[in-house]
Each structure stands twice: as C-alpha cells, then as structure tokens.
C-alpha cells in the first residue's frame, strides 16, 4: 500500500522517540515567544508557585511542631485534666513511671492599682521543673538566669508583659484574692510551655502552697502531671489512661503536637480556597486552547500529510508542553523558595509581635523539602495535563482533510467542562476535611458561577433585543457580544469570579469586624462572664443589683469531655481534622434546658418533654453534627466529673439571632441533673456603664478565678486575629488579581485574531480607528459592568448566607462602598481591557488583502 | 454629469520603495495617474510587482515614499480622511463576519454609521445581488460565489464613490467568477462608483476601461474598448 510505505519510510519512523524529541524541542523553541505560550507559562507558573509554597510552608510548620513537641513538653509524657488524680490513681501511675511532677494552672484576672489583666497562673512545687530549663531574669531586659526551682512560697514570677500591664515593678507586692505575694523575678521561659504555646495568655509562676490560699475550687484548676518515663512505660501509661482516665489529655514525645491538627486544617482551608484559583486557571487554559487550536491542528494536518502517525503528532504536542513545564520549574522553585522563606519570616515576626501567638514560631527554620516539592509538582503537572487534554483530543481527531477542505473544528464544550470538573473535584477531595465548609465554599462558588452565567446571558440577550431597531455603535457592540456569547461569557466569568473573590475576602472581613462589634454591643451587653461558679454567680448578682447593672443573660452549664462515639474512642473514630473536633478534644460546656432556648431553633429530631423519663438524650449543634458525621440516634459517651455517661442524640439545633449570643453545642434535659453530680457553672452577659468598669476590680479581688472579659478586650482579641487573617487574605488576593489579569490576557488572546479581523473589516467600510476603539471601550464596559454586578450580587448573597448560618447576624452591606467597588472594577477592567486589546486594534485593510 | 461633479483620486509622481534585508526594493517610480468616479480600472502584473501597494496608495491607506496623492471633489482638493469615508472594499477571501447572517453583514456598515433603515436597505441590496432568499444564512452556509455577492452588496450598500477590489474572483470557479465579475461591474456602474481591481485574470482585466499593467518595475496604462455591461445589478 503506497500510504503505508510512505509512512514506514518517513523520517519520523526511523528513530521515532529521538525524532519526536528533536521536533518537539524545535517547535517549542520556535513557539516559546508566542503570546499564547507566554500566557500559558504564567498560568502554570502562578499555580505551581502557590501550591509549592503552600505545601513547603505547611511542611516546615509541621516539622517545627514535631521538633517543638520533643523539646517543649518538659517531660516524656504529660497528662492533664481538670481534676487532681486520686491517691490510688497517683500510686498506680507512680509505679508505672520514674517520676511524677504536678503543675496546676488557673486562668484568672490579676488586679493592681485599679488595673487588671487576665493571666494564667502556674503553681508548682520544689520538684519542678522535671526536664528542661526554667529561665528567669531579675530586671526588665536583664541577664537571663537558669533557675533550678520555681518560685518560693510567698513569691510570684510574672512574665514581662504582665508586669507592664499591671504597672508593677520587681519587689512590689501583688494581692490575689486577699493573699499578698512578692514579685521577685521576671519569668522568661518554662520548659513545659507547649500547652500554652498557642495562646496569647500572659503567665505567672508561683508556689503550689500559695495557690491553695485562693479558695479556688479544685475543678477549675487544670492539673498537669509531668512524667519521666521510657518508651515502654509511656505505652503502659497510655494503655492505662485509655481505660482509667479516658477524658484526660495526653501528650508524649512520640505523639502529635496539639497544634498539628490546627495547622493541617489551615493548610486544608487555604488549599480548598485554591479551588477558585484552579477554576480561573481552567478558564484561562481553555481560552488558550481555543487560541492555539487552529495553529496546532494545521501543524498536525501537515505532519499527517507527510506520513507521520497520529501518535507521533500527539507525542510532539505533549513533549512540547512538557518542555515548557520543565523549563518553567527552575523559576518556579526559586520563587517558591523565596515565598516560603518570606512566609516563615512573617510568621516569626508575628510570633514576636504577638508574644506567643501563632505557636511561638520564633525558631521556625527554613528547610525546603525537595521530595515534597517533587511530589507537589508531579500532582500539579497531572492537573495541567488534564486541563490540556481537550487540545490533545482535538489533535487526535484532526486529519489531512483539513488541509484540502478547511473546516472549523472546535473542541466539544462537554470535554472542556468535564476536564475542568475533574480537576476541581480532585482538588476539593484532596483538601476537604470538613463537609459543611466544603459544601458552603463550593456552593457559593457554584452559585456565583450560575449567577454570572445567567446575568451574562440575560443582559446581553435583553440589550441586544432592545437595541435591535436602532443603529449605531452601541447596538452593534451589543449585537456582536450577543453573537459571541460563549467567549464573552467565559471572559465575564473569569473577571467576575476574580472580582467576587476579592470582594468576598476583603469586604466580608471588613464588614464582619464592624458587624460583630456593633451586634455584641446591642444584644449581649459589654461584659461577658464565661465561667462563674454558683457562689461566684450569686456574688455577681448581688454586685449587679447593688450597682444597678443589668444582667442580660444567665445560663447554667457543666463541663463534660467527649470520649466515645457509638462506643468507639473519639481518637479512633475521628480521623479528619475539624474545628469541632479540635474543640471537643478539650472539655466543653453542657447546658440544660426544658424548652428550646430562644436563641436556638430545632433543626431535626425532637426536643424532650418535661414528662419524658429518658434523661440520657442530647441535642447537638448542627455544625458539630456535620463536622463529626453524626446522625440522630448516635450515642455520645461523655465523662462528667469522672463519671462516664452515655447519651443518645435526640435532636439537632442551630443558633438564631435575636435572643442573645450565649449558646451551647450540647444540651440535655434538666431531668438529667438528678442523675449527674457535677459542679454547676454559669455564663452571663452584663451591660455596664463606662464608669462602672472600675468596679470590676472589686469583683476580681473577691474571685480571682472568675472568668470575665469586657467587650473591649473581646474586640481587641478579635481585631488582632482579624488583622492576621486580613494579611494572609491580602496575599491570597494578590494571587487572585494576578490570575484575573492572566484570565483577561488569555480571553483577549483567544479572540484576538477574530477581533483584529472585525476591526480591519470596519476600517474597510471607510470608518476610522476611533470607531474601533469606541466599540472596544463599549465591549469592555459592558463586560466589566456585568462581571462587577455579578460579583457584587454574589458577594451579597454569600454574605447573607454565611452571616446567617455562621454568625446568625443580619448582613447590611454599605451601598456606597458597593457602588465605589463597582466603579473601581469597571474602570480597571475597561482600562486593562483596552491596553490588552492593543493588538486587535492594530488591524488594517492591508492585512485583509494579505490573507 | 459635469466633470466637476465627479470625485477623482490623483496620484502625481508617486514612487514606492521598501527596505528588505538592507536592500532598497523599488515597486514603482514616478507614477502619475487619475481614478475617476464612474470608471473601471484593473491593475495587473506578476505577484510582488506592487499591485496591492498601488491599490493601498489609491485608497489613501498608505503614504507614498515620494510624490502626492490627492482627493478632488468638484475640482476642489479634499483631505484624504474624507476619501476613506467614500471607499468600499471587496476581498479575495470575502472577509464576512462569521457570526453574522448575510443580512447583518450587509447592514453592518450602515448600522455603524447610525442609519435608521439599515436592515431594509441591506435587504434591498441582497435582493439586487440575487440573494433575497439567503438573508438569514451565515457565511459558512453560503457558497464562495454567494459569499462574494454578499461582500459586494456590503461594499456598495453605503454608496461609496470608489470600490477597491483585491482579486475579487481569485477564489471562485470560472462560472462563479464570471457571474461575480458581471455583478461587480454592473453594480458599480449603476451606483456611479469607480471600480479599481487587482487581478491576475486577463478576462476580468479585459472588462475594465483602463488597465495598469506592471512589468519589471514599470507600470504601463492600457486603454480597453468599453464593454457592454449587462444590467445584472
């Protein structure tokens, strides 16, 4: 057969791999300066830098945390729980280990000369520290000393911030609950700080004998037992703990850092948010695919006409893409390494700025993980491969016939959509650890996409219909946009999504801060009591009555520790990190109420009746149910005051606004109180006049362990977290802007040839370049207007949904701000669009003749 | 119509050169000619001889290296920007916008000029070129000959005084080429527009009243006996 012979004898057949490589390299070199290839490099580069930096930073933090665990535990094993060990438990544990040292801690409010500051007191005896160094100083910024023991009886050591906050000096006396202690040293570092590592709480160290003077009930003191033990003893103690003290928290040198899950979750959240980046990249790559298609198909048809096989043609195209990716890697790795280093520097700076916030990252080391980088790049390359698949499919379907009978063969939209969906689903599955959050994020994204699609179609169709009877530039521009609905919609989608993301991240953060502060003031008073014992609450009520202070809410609770789900240990049943799980690993509050509280609504199941004899039932908050994958009827094992009680889930509830902010994850029937003996506490909110805040000192003097926080403090804490998040989000927003720019470039590029031709034809009618420019401006204005409107409406909807479901706050966006945003987006899109359309405006009649 | 009523494009001593690999290539030298409204012209010659460049100069879309291009209306000199509004083009590749129907392609220049009855006028023109039954067809649904008819209607719909055609039959079979040529000449004549064509086809060139023939860098003017144009438009 002549055709077969020619194929067999073709040069490509003699050494196919080498020839394909050479040809691919040759064409890569030829095409690398083409704008479509440049844009493709940008898309792939930005995503690679993002993913590699994220994984490297996360790996550095995890490596640091495991190193930190080994060094900052101050013991081989630490067991902590609210209550002290019984004598028999202590004896058993002592027999299993080499030494046990007890440290007690209590969060309290210290007062001095009318100033107060919340702090954690740590009480130790002469056997402390067990391992590591206890470092102190005798003056502010003075020489650091290693102390062999903790504070002596009658002395207290404060950290320098606490000293400054109370306006104290060394040698002065601090009165706690009527008991006076001398401030003798500045506390710089305790070896067992790991557990406090991620809080911003100020600290003080005193002798255990002094703590007993504060009349603090035993159950509000956290008891931490530090063990010296070998590996064998550690595993024995762990086994023992599972059966004897399942509610206790245990950390040991071979275990996971308590912050590890938190950081895993942070990485997952950022990763999940990156779905949006991938979506935009998918749009950009589809636009590029369309732009390259004709040229690549022509090349393939020519190759086929000279006897090359389809496989060879495909090899060349894939290899060409691979060369592009490989040659991008040195730059990607260098930039990612730099970003990784900068991020770690930033985290360290945050640690210093916030004195212990973010997990004391002062010693975070920059250590690139090459194996991880390779893994990440391979995973990302697979994603790009899938996004490029439609182009290769179109090449596979190409034939010589195309040269004889030129035909427009486009890529099936179903294939493009399928590939993008596959990629996005893969990314979502990889990073998702929380069903509700993933659903909300994807849901709002899908809603905004649908909204943008509908809005584009409606606006363009309607405007085109209405302007049909008229002539002029505007009706023509609208008509042309309607004719190019698909490519225009893609363009609008890219820009609109980017704008939506930016608005969503920046505007919601701004509004959230404002709304939270305002709401708290209106509904919850300006002082929140987060934990008061019965005696303390009685005194608060008396104090409030004396000073005509309103108590807005008052709700009782007891502390419980979730240990089992449907008979299985919590740690065994729950593998995926979530907010709920992180909180439930510590004791949580259990409330009781006859009826559904006013600020709750029943989501599913049935609330108990007063006549109900079954007291072992619970109502669980909806988000906790989703996070932990719980269902009605599931059994939860709770340890309450050292007793194990099993409840079944009878109902789920959700927060609703209007009746105060104090709500509980777990609630039970009041009938259960007759069966459970445990200390009762209260949460309450009060409304104080500004001048009444000075009266708080009196209350704290009386009850140092009373947990109260003022609105001012709350908002300060909130603001500092918000500032941290805003900075992170701003970095992310920078990436979004960059990708939005790339999407615009690629969308302009995809229709550049068509646009150039259109402009040339307009010039051939004797019209000027000014007309072309006017048309271009109108097109970008319409594109920008639809995209911005879509983005704003989507942000508004997402705001409504998220505020309502997450914070139960009404969402009132600032209209002036929205209109301003609309104007900014419109001018930016139009300006950038015109700059990018420079090439398509450079058409001429000469070009039409040359074709 | 008195002579002063006609519009004329006058090229006086124009030369066109361009640089290629540091070599100066001269397309034509000291060329003087006049294009008068209502007449037909053909530009012939081998590829690369400068036919299209001459067309661009005549249309005022390019500047000559030396010499002058003037646009005269009623004997008065007008700015070249005015000339650009009075010309229409017909291309070898038709260059219809693929997204638009035949009707919308023809209505396009009128719509852009803000004319109210754009579509009605376009419909009339399509009927004139024999495509009254193909109004709502898109270019890919039309044959080459039909596409060129649409292009002719589009070029003439806004009543230009000059039509410049670059190889208008170059992409058509002989039957379609003859039909399109017939139509082009008839429409221009009926509309009182000058027709300037670049062509390789001796048959088509023979239909023009004057032929500018390029040969070895020289441009010679040949007068043709006027042919009778059938009233196809």
Nearest C-alpha of chain B: how many angstroms from A471? 4
Nearest in space to A503 (alpha carbons), one of A733, A745, A239: A733
Mutating which of B55, B112, B118, B166 best tests the A interface, going by the most A Cβ atoms within 10 A? B112
Nearest in space to A513 (alpha carbons), one of A714, A715, A358: A715
User: b/e per residue, A347-385, with b = 16+ CB within 10 A?
Assistant: bbebbeeeebbbbbbeebeeeebeeebeebbeebbebbb
Instruction: Report the C-alpha gap between A478 and A252 in whole angstroms.
Output: 68
Residues of A in contact with B111 (CB under 8 A): 471-472, 475-476, 479
* Any A CB within 8 A of B88 CB: yes
Instruction: Report the C-alpha gap between A784 and A740 in whole angstroms.
Output: 12
| pLDDT for B41 | 92
Q: Mean pLDDT, to the nearest integer, of A262-284?
A: 73
Residues of A in contact with B91 (CB under 8 A): 764, 848-849, 851
Beta-bridge partner residues of A252? A77
Interchain proximity B99–A475, CB inside 8 Å: no
Instruction: Report the C-alpha gap between A439 and A626 in whole angstroms.
Output: 11
pLDDT bucket at A437, cuts 50 / 70 / 90: low
Interchain proximity A851–B95, CB inside 8 Å: yes
| pLDDT for A29 | 86
Residues of B in contact with A479 (CB under 8 A): 104, 111
Residues of B in contact with A778 (CB under 8 A): none
Interchain proximity B118–A471, CB inside 8 Å: yes
| pLDDT for B22 | 78
Residue A1 has pLDDT above 60, yes or no: no
Interchain proximity B95–A473, CB inside 8 Å: no
Interchain proximity B59–A765, CB inside 8 Å: no
Q: Residue A308 in contact with residue A12, Cβ under 8 Å?
A: yes
Q: Mean pLDDT, to the nearest integer, of A163-183?
A: 85
* Any A CB within 8 A of B25 CB: no
Q: Within a 10 A sphere around the Cβ of A709, how many other Cβ atoms?
A: 15
Q: Residue B105 in contact with residue B150, Cβ under 8 Å?
A: yes
Nearest C-alpha of chain B: how many angstroms from A767? 6
**CA quadruple A46, A52, A55, A57: dihedral, nearest 10:** -90
| pLDDT for B195 | 93
User: What is chain A's percent helix, strand, coil content, to nearest 5?
Assistant: 60, 15, 25
* Any B CB within 8 A of A851 CB: yes
Within 8 A by CB and 6+ apart from A386, the residues are A419, A422, A423
Residues in chain A: 851
* Any A CB within 8 A of B223 CB: no
Q: Euclidean distance between the first and final Cα of chain A, in Å?
A: 37
Interchain proximity A760–B95, CB inside 8 Å: yes
| pLDDT for A357 | 40
Q: How does pLDDT run along chain B (233 residues), one tens digit per residue?
A: 444 448 999 999 988 888 877 788 888 888 888 899 999 999 998 888 888 888 888 988 888 999 999 999 888 899 888 888 888 999 888 889 888 899 989 998 888 888 888 889 999 999 988 999 999 999 989 998 999 999 999 998 988 999 999 989 888 888 888 888 988 898 888 889 999 999 988 889 999 999 988 877 677 666 664 444 444 45
* Any A CB within 8 A of B52 CB: yes
Residues in chain B: 233
Instruction: Report the C-alpha gap between B115 and B52 in whole angstroms.
Output: 31
* Any A CB within 8 A of B139 CB: no
Judging by beta carbons within 10 Å of its beta carbon (0-12, 13-18, 19+), is residue A408 exposed, middle or buried?
Answer: exposed
Domain ranges of chain A: 1-73+262-433, 76-252, 451-525+711-851, 527-687
Nearest C-alpha of chain B: how many angstroms from A457? 17
* Any A CB within 8 A of B109 CB: yes
* Any A CB within 8 A of B206 CB: no
Nearest C-alpha of chain A: how many angstroms from B165? 9
* Any B CB within 8 A of A408 CB: yes
Helix (H) or strand (E) holding A106: strand A99-112
Tens of pLDDT, residues A508-528: 566 555 655 555 544 456 778
Residues of A in contact with B158 (CB under 8 A): 765-766
Instruction: Report the C-alpha gap between A646 and A586 in whole angstroms.
Output: 18
Share the mean pLDDT of chain A. Answer: 80
Q: Number of A:B CB contacts under 8 A?
A: 80
Instruction: Report the C-alpha gap between A463 and B200 in whole angstroms.
Output: 46
Residues of A in contact with B85 (CB under 8 A): 766-767
* Any A CB within 8 A of B143 CB: no
Q: Mean pLDDT, to the nearest integer, of A643-671?
A: 86
Tens of pLDDT, residues A719-762: 665 666 666 666 767 777 777 788 888 888 878 888 888 889 98
B91, B99, B112 ranked by CB distance to A762: nearest: B112
Residues of A in contact with B104 (CB under 8 A): 479
B99, B109, B140 ranked by CB distance to A765: nearest: B109
Q: Mean pLDDT, to the nearest integer, of A669-678?
A: 89
Instruction: Report the C-alpha gap between B87 and B166 in whole angstroms.
Output: 13
Query: Considering only residues 448 to 477 of chain A, which have any Cβ-Cβ distance to chain B shorter than 8 Å?
Result: 471-473, 475-476
Instruction: Report the C-alpha gap between A284 and A45 in whole angstroms.
Output: 13
Residue A552 has pLDDT above 70, yes or no: yes
* Any A CB within 8 A of B112 CB: yes
Residues of A in contact with B92 (CB under 8 A): 849
Alpha-carbon dihedral sign for residues A18, A20, A23, A29: negative
Nearest C-alpha of chain B: how many angstroms from A451? 26
Q: Euclidean distance between the first and final Cα of chain B, in Å?
A: 21
Instruction: Report the C-alpha gap between A730 and B168 in whole angstroms.
Output: 58
Instruction: Report the C-alpha gap between B157 and B174 in whole angstroms.
Output: 26
Beta-bridge partner residues of A619? A651, A667
Tens of pLDDT, residues A295-340: 788 888 877 877 778 888 888 889 999 999 999 999 999 999 999 8
| pLDDT for A7 | 46
Interchain proximity B52–A845, CB inside 8 Å: no
* Any A CB within 8 A of B54 CB: no
A767, A845, A848 ranked by CB distance to B112: nearest: A767
Instruction: Report the C-alpha gap between A24 and A308 in whole angstroms.
Output: 14
Distances (CA, A) of B29 to A408, B50, B196, B210, B214: 43, 11, 20, 19, 11
Q: Is B116 helix (H, G, I), strand (E, B) or coil?
A: coil
ipTM (interface predicted TM): 0.82
Interchain proximity A408–B140, CB inside 8 Å: yes
Q: Residue B8 in contact with residue B35, Cβ under 8 Å?
A: yes
Nearest C-alpha of chain A: how many angstroms from B160? 9
| Domains in chain B with CATH codes | 39-59+83-223 (3.40.50.300)
Query: Considering only residues 57 to 76 of chain B, which have any Cβ-Cβ distance to chain A shorter than 8 Å?
Result: 59, 61-62
Q: Residue A634 in contact with residue A573, Cβ under 8 Å?
A: no
* Any A CB within 8 A of B144 CB: no
Within 8 A by CB and 6+ apart from A728, the residues are A270
Interchain proximity B99–A483, CB inside 8 Å: yes
Instruction: Report the C-alpha gap between B198 and A333 in whole angstroms.
Output: 57
Within 8 A by CB and 6+ apart from B116, the residues are A471
Peptide bond between residue A129 and the one before it cis (omega within 30 degrees of 0): yes
A471, A483, A845 ranked by CB distance to B89: nearest: A845
Tell me which chain A residue has its CA closest to the CA of residue B154: A765
| pLDDT for A578 | 62
Q: Is B67 helix (H, G, I), strand (E, B) or coil?
A: strand
CA A186-A188-A192 angle, to 5 degrees, is: 125
Q: Which of A187-191, A474-478, A780-784, B144-148 has the lowest mean pLDDT?
A: A187-191
Q: Could you tell me where the DSSP H helices lie in A306-369?
A: 310-353
Beta-bridge partner residues of A637? A564, A646
* Any B CB within 8 A of A691 CB: no
For a pLDDT cut of 70, what percent of chain A falls above it?
82
Q: Mean pLDDT, to the nearest integer, of A703-707?
A: 74
Within 8 A by CB and 6+ apart from A494, the residues are A280, A283, A284, A287, A740, A743, A744, A747
Residues of A in contact with B52 (CB under 8 A): 846, 849-850
A473, A766, A849 ranked by CB distance to B85: nearest: A766
């Amino acid at each position: 057969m002549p055709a077969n012979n020619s194929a067999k004898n073709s040069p490509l057949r003699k050494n196919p791999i080498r020839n394909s490589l050479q040809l691919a390299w040759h064409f890569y070199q030829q095409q690398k300066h083409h704008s479509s290839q440049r844009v493709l490099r940008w898309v792939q580069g930005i995503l690679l830098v993002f993913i590699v930096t994220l994984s490297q930073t996360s790996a550095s933090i995890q490596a640091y945390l495991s190193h930190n665990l080994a060094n900052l535990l101050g013991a081989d094993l630490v067991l902590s729980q609210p209550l002290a060990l019984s004598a028999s438990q202590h004896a058993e544990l002592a027999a299993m280990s080499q030494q046990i040292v007890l440290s007690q801690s209590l969060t309290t409010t210290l007062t001095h000369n009318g100033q107060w500051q919340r702090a954690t007191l740590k009480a130790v005896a002469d056997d402390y520290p067990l391992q590591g160094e206890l470092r102190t100083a005798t003056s502010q910024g003075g020489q650091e000393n290693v102390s062999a023991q903790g504070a002596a009886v009658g002395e207290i050591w404060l950290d320098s911030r606490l000293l400054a906050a109370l306006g104290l000096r060394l040698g002065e006396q601090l009165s706690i609950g009527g008991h006076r202690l001398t401030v003798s040293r500045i506390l710089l570092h305790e070896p067992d700080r790991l557990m406090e590592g991620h809080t911003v709480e100020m600290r003080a160290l005193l002798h255990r004998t002094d703590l007993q003077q504060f009349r603090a009930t035993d159950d509000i003191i956290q008891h931490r037992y530090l063990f010296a033990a070998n590996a064998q003893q550690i595993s024995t103690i762990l086994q023992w703990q599972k059966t004897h003290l399942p509610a206790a928290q245990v950390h040991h040198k071979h275990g996971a850092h308590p912050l590890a899950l938190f950081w895993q979750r942070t990485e997952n959240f950022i990763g999940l948010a990156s779905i949006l980046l991938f979506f935009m990249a998918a749009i950009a790559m589809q636009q590029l695919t369309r732009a390259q298609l004709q040229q690549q198909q022509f090349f393939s048809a020519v190759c086929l006409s000279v006897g090359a096989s389809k496989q060879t043609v495909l090899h060349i195209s894939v290899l060409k893409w691979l060369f592009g990716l490989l040659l991008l890697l040195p730059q990607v790795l260098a930039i990612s390494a730099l970003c990784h280093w900068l991020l770690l520097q930033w985290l360290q700076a945050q640690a210093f700025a916030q004195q212990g916030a973010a997990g004391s990252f002062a010693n975070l080391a920059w250590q690139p993980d090459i194996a991880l980088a390779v893994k990440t790049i391979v995973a990302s390359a697979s994603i790009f491969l899938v996004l490029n698949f439609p182009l290769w499919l179109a090449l596979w379907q190409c034939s010589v016939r195309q040269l004889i009978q030129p035909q427009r063969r486009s890529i099936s939209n179903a294939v493009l959509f399928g590939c993008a969906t596959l990629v996005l689903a893969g990314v979502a599955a990889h990073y998702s650890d929380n069903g509700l959050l993933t659903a909300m994020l994807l849901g709002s994204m899908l809603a905004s996409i649908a909204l943008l699609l509908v809005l584009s179609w409606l606006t363009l169709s309607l405007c085109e219909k209405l302007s049909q009877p008229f002539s002029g530039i505007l009706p023509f521009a609208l008509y042309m946009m309607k004719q190019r609905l698909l490519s225009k919609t893609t363009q609008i989608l890219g820009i609109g999504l980017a704008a939506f993301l930016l608005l969503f991240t920046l505007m919601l953060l701004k509004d959230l801060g404002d709304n939270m502060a305002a709401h708290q003031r209106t509904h919850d008073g300006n002082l929140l009591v987060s934990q008061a014992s019965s005696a303390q609450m009685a005194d608060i009520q008396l104090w409030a009555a004396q000073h005509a202070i309103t108590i807005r809410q008052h709700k009782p609770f007891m502390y419980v520790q979730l240990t089992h789900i449907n008979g299985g240990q919590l740690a065994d049943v729950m593998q995926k990190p979530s907010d709920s799980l992180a909180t439930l690993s510590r004791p949580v509050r259990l409330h009781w109420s006859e009826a559904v509280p006013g600020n709750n609504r029943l989501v599913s199941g049935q609330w108990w009746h007063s006549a109900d004899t079954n007291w072992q039932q619970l109502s669980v908050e909806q988000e906790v149910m989703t996070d932990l994958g719980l269902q009605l009827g599931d059994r939860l094992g709770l340890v309450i005051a050292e007793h194990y009680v099993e409840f079944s889930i009878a109902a789920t509830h959700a927060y609703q606004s209007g009746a105060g902010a104090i709500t509980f994850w777990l609630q039970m029937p009041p009938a259960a109180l007759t069966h459970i003996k445990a200390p009762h506490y209260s949460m309450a909110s009060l409304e104080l006049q500004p001048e009444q805040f000075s009266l708080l000192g009196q209350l704290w003097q009386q009850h140092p362990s009373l947990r109260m926080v003022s609105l001012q403090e709350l908002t300060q804490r909130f603001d500092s977290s918000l500032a941290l998040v805003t900075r992170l989000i701003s970095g992310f927003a920078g990436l979004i802007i960059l990708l939005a720019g790339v999407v615009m470039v690629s969308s302009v590029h995809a229709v550049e040839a068509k646009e150039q031709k259109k402009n040339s034809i307009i010039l051939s009618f004797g019209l000027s370049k000014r007309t072309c420019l006017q048309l271009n401006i109108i097109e970008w204005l319409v594109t920008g207007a639809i995209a911005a409107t879509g983005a704003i409406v989507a942000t508004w909807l997402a705001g409504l949904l998220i505020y309502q479901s997450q914070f139960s706050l009404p969402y009132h966006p600032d209209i002036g701000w929205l209109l301003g945003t609309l104007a900014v987006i419109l001018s930016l899109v139009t300006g950038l669009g015109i700059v990018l359309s420079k090439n398509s405006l450079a058409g001429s009649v000469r070009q039409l003749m040359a074709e | 119509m008195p002579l002063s009523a006609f519009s004329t494009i006058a090229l006086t001593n124009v030369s066109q050169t361009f640089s290629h690999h540091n070599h100066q290539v001269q397309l034509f030298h000291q060329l003087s000619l006049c294009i008068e409204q209502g007449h037909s012209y053909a530009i012939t010659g081998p590829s690369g001889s400068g036919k299209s460049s001459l067309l661009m100069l005549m249309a005022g879309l390019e500047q000559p290296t030396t010499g002058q291009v003037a646009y005269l209306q009623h004997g008065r000199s007008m700015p070249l920007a005015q000339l650009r509004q009075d010309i229409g083009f017909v291309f070898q590749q038709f260059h219809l916008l693929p997204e638009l129907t035949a009707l919308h392609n023809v209505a396009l220049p009128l719509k852009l000029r803000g004319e109210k009855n754009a579509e009605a006028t376009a419909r009339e023109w399509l009927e004139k070129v024999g495509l009254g039954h193909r109004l709502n067809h898109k270019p890919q649904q039309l044959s080459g000959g039909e596409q060129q008819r649409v292009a002719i209607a589009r070029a003439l719909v806004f009543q230009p005084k000059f039509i410049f055609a670059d190889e208008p039959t170059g992409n058509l079979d002989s039957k379609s080429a003859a039909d399109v040529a017939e139509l082009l000449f008839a429409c221009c004549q009926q509309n009182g527009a000058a027709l300037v064509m670049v062509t390789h086809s001796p048959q088509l060139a023979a239909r023009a009243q004057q032929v500018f023939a390029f040969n070895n860098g020289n441009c010679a003017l040949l007068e043709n006996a006027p042919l009778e144009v059938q009233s196809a438009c």
